[in-house]
A and B are shown apart, each in its own frame.
Chain A
Amino acid sequence: MSEQHASEHEHGLKFYWLVLFALLILTWVTYGAALIDFGHPWSDLVALAIAVTKATLVVSFFMHVKGATSMIKMSAVGGFFWLLIFFAFVLADVLTRPGMRDFF
């Protein structure tokens, strides 16, 4: 527990403003990337990559998962694993529908 407190004190208020600033910049990058056509499927992948970066920032710093106990880290990973389950099964449906072969 003491480690957790120590890491919280390491970051001052300024640090969180910086993270927020980074998030706002990335929001503009999302917008900018949406205007450029990278072609299929790259447009989607670029947008997703930016989104994942933003989510990582929020989870690590705003939600204090970085420097948290391993129990909390495990719970966070568990949540994303569950998201992965959802994506995997929905793709198992969508990608195997008749007619999807032409999509690739």
Chain B
Amino acid sequence: MSTQEFAFTPYPDLPKSHYLNVAYGLKSWLFTTDHKRIGILYLLSITFFFALGGLYATAIRLELLTPAGDMVQPDTYNRLFTMHGILMVFFFLVPSIPAVLGNFLLPLMIGAKDVAFPRLNLASWYMYMFGAGFTMYALFMGGVDTGWTFYTPFSSTYSNSYVAAVAVGIFINGFSSIFTGINFMVTIHRMRAPGMTWSRLPLFVWSHYATSLIMVLGTPVLAITIVLLAMERVFKLGFFDPALGGDPVLFQHLFWFYSHPAVYIMILPSMGVISEIIAAFSRKPIFGYKFVAFASMGIAILGFLVWGHHLFVSSQSLYAGLIFSILSMLVAVPSAVKVFNWTATLYKGSIEYSTPMFYALGFIGLFTIGGLTGLMLATIGIDVHVHDTYFVVAHFHYIMVGGALMGYLGGLHYWWPKITGRMYPGFWSHLSALIIFLGFNLTFFPQFVLGYLGMPRRYHSYPEEFQILHILSTAGASILAVGYIIPLVYFIWSLKYGEVAGDNPWDAVGLEWQTTSPPSLHNFDEIPVVDFEPYDYVEHEPVERPYRYSRSEA
């Protein structure tokens, strides 16, 4: 970048009053009812749990470097992968996009001053922290060894680890999800600005509506399941243990009735993010807006009818297996509608390779791989062979990390200037996006091969011929870790030293870009009136970026 660009670039200042400087001090955060500050509280908490879950993953990958189980005891290894799964699923992925970006953006996007129930929103964060506290207690006492799926009767009868404490933790944490879901649904129904009709809602909002539906309908089932599990464990009431007259497969039905849709709690918000990014950096309206919106609803509803694909080898009847297999394949239809519509949006667009766009393009590729291998697993004939192998592990990491996490990071990069008012360095953010993409594939692609060759999941030792693939995977994980640390550094750096971004650094449409960056306490000076269609980008119109970052990129 030359000094000339410095001279020509107008530097906007941060607005005089915004949500971050209206009040200072710990109390102004812990008692806030501002949806934006609650989003930040969630951001800090889930980042902590992501790092903790990452440490467990590191330990797992180190153990698997050698075929012998030489680093930790088998029992310790069970605790490592269990805690990794619990922390990442319940305390990072489920709240990630909805509780951070959703909380921050949903009211902004529909032109509201806040969510419908601001205090319930704060309560949801406290529920999250409270549940996390129980889980941390269990973790310090030695953790849990059941796997994040808590299969009975091992979890209810035989396990000697802190199952009950974690169960309470997840039970409480579930309410944070339910609160968020209720809040979003009521907000979307009741708080839309004049003119913000359902067919003008950003797709991010549509996908959060679908997500909320799952949160509200599914999470109570998980809560009840966990209560039943705890009652069997503590009071010896027979629900799942055959010795007590229960049915262990019933637990799996109950657990996956929530936990399969929970995958869509993770991926749907991510799809919403991708729709926003793809439109903004192709400078085109989303191709088939209505289809993409309805695909979200379709995924949410169909997603409830497929849970039995986790039970193909659990003595579920063949008849039920067939039904679940067919229905699982049907979910691919709305998912594919989305992928094709994103690609059609890219077609002949004025594509700009910004950092968020890197993540969005990465998402499309990785999600497609994760989705297609999901179809393979929905086929009973294949699943019987690769069930509980690394093939499954690779598949769901392509969805949860390659999909959900890429979307979260993409969204964080897209809206960071809105959240903080400042821009992060373009070079480092592009570099880390590339490192993450490469590291991710190197970590998880070998696991497809491993699983196909017969390496079971949740084993800490393995035959020697698998070692080379495990070494590749561990090497990839190290690269991935570097990719995650870089954004952590430059995001913190940008808070003080980042370029002032201005209200609309991407020249994007959408109400959230029409207010200041960072937004004022009540979001808008006056409630906006919406008289434009969603994503009304003017095609092929050259973009004038007001700040230095993108010019030096170009």
Which chain A residues have a beta carbon within 8 Å of chain B's beta carbons?
78-79, 82, 85-86, 89-90, 92-94, 96-98, 100
Contacts and interface: CB of A to CB of B under 8 A. Distances in A.
> What are the 5 A-B residue pairs with the smallest beta carbon separation, nearest first?
A93-B320, A96-B319, A96-B317, A97-B317, A92-B320
Contacts of A82: 217, 304
Given A78-B217, A86-B257, 7 more contacts: A85-B305, A89-B320, A92-B317, A92-B319, A93-B311, A93-B319, A98-B317
Given A93-B320, A96-B320, A85 B304 contact: yes
13 contacts: A78-B217, A79-B217, A82-B217, A86-B253, A86-B257, A89-B323, A89-B324, A90-B250, A92-B320, A93-B249, A93-B311, A93-B320, A97-B315
B253 A93 contact: yes
Interface in B448-505: none
Contacts of A100: 317
A76 to B, nearest CB: 12
Interface in B427-459: none
B257 to A, nearest CB: 6
Nearest to B327: A89
Interface in B251-265: 253, 257
Contacts of B269: none
Interface in B301-332: 304-305, 307-308, 311, 315-320, 323-324
A69 to B, nearest CB: 12
A81 B413 CA distance: 40
Contacts, number: 41
Interface residues of B, number: 20
Nearest to B218: A82
Contacts of B323: 89, 92
A13 B318 CA distance: 53
Contact of A93 (B304, B305, B308): B308
Contacts of B308: 89, 93
B337 interface: no
Nearest to A92: B320
A88 to B, nearest CB: 10
A82 to B, nearest CB: 5
B191 interface: no
B221 interface: yes
Contacts of A89: 253, 305, 307-308, 320, 323-324
Interface string B198-223: 00000000000000000001000100
B6 to A, nearest CB: 56
A93 B257 contact: no
Candidate in A79, A82, A86, A98 with the most chain B CB atoms within 10 angstroms: A82
Contact of B317 (A79, A85, A86, A93): A93
